[in-house]
Amino acid sequence: MRVGYSLYKNQGIHTIVSIFTVEKGTIKVLLIRRTNEPFKGMWGLVGGALYNNETLDECVKREIFEKTGLTDVKVYQSSIFDKIDRAPSMRMIAINYVGIIDSSKVHVLKKTLKTDNADWVPIDRVRELAYDHNEILKSATETLKKLIVSSDILKNLFPKGFTIPEVQKTYEAILGKTFDRRNFRKKLLSLGIIEDTNKYIVFEGKKPAKVYKFSNKNIDKNVL
């Protein structure tokens, strides 16, 4: 963060981030409950105003830390929401981000100075949110579908290894469609983006499944 500027907030410029994770094939988004007006007591996405001494990327990472305690969220700038009446008291432009994280490896703060709860919520169970956050979340979900073509996205969801069925369930959950198990496995192995760890994991009632990890190779097209 650069110094030499006042920390006066640019109240008209905000960053908003939809932080996604996948748990057992279900896409979830991190929501926080507001303690301040407007929309006090309502759930919403993580976000806040830009400081004069930071970039947009620095702002969104600071807001994530201040409101959730998370520090290792991979973020991608998504879209801009600039409707004149999107905020009740002033002109406010929102820069929308998508965040990706493996929720099983982190601890989310339930309470901060500006929030009194935080929780992972399946995106199909999200109800009315503060401001225009429902619309922002919808846009972020569409961006997530485009980002899934990058192996880097999955690296953040499965940093320590995965089984091929887990990856397939993730694709199916994000894209909202099902894929043939054998064809999916064959295509994923043929791309050379995953490596065998020579380890196995046993799921209850099932045969041991081979554990893979992502290689350093990136791809710029869908694996499907």
The gap between the terminal CA atoms of the chain, to the nearest Å, is 40
Are 9-147 and 151-214 the same fold in CATH? no
pTM of the shown model: 0.86
Indicate the length of the chain as a whole number: 224
Q: What is the pLDDT of residues 131-164, one digit of tens each?
A: 999 999 999 999 999 888 766 788 888 888 899 9
- Position 1 confidence tier, pLDDT thresholds 50, 70, 90: very low
**DSSP H helices in 82-219:** 133-147, 151-157, 164-175, 181-190
**Dihedral angle of Cα 37, 65, 215, 143, to the nearest 10 degrees:** 20
Structure confidence at residue 114 (pLDDT): 67
pLDDT, residue 9, reads: 61
If one looks up domain 151-214 in CATH, what number appears?
A: 1.10.10.10
54 pLDDT above the threshold of 60: yes
pLDDT tens, residue by residue, 191-209: 888 999 999 988 766 788 8
Token reading at 81: 């929401």
DSSP string, 30-89: EEEEE-SSSSTT-EE-EEEEEETTS-HHHHHHHHHHHHH-----EEEEEEEE--TTSSSS
CATH class for the domain made up of 9-147: alpha beta
How do the domains of the chain map onto residue ranges?
9-147, 151-214
DSSP 106: -
Estimate the crossing angle of helix 133-147 against helix 164-175, to 10 degrees.
Answer: 140
Please determine, for residue 112, whether its predicted confidence score (pLDDT) is greater than 80: no
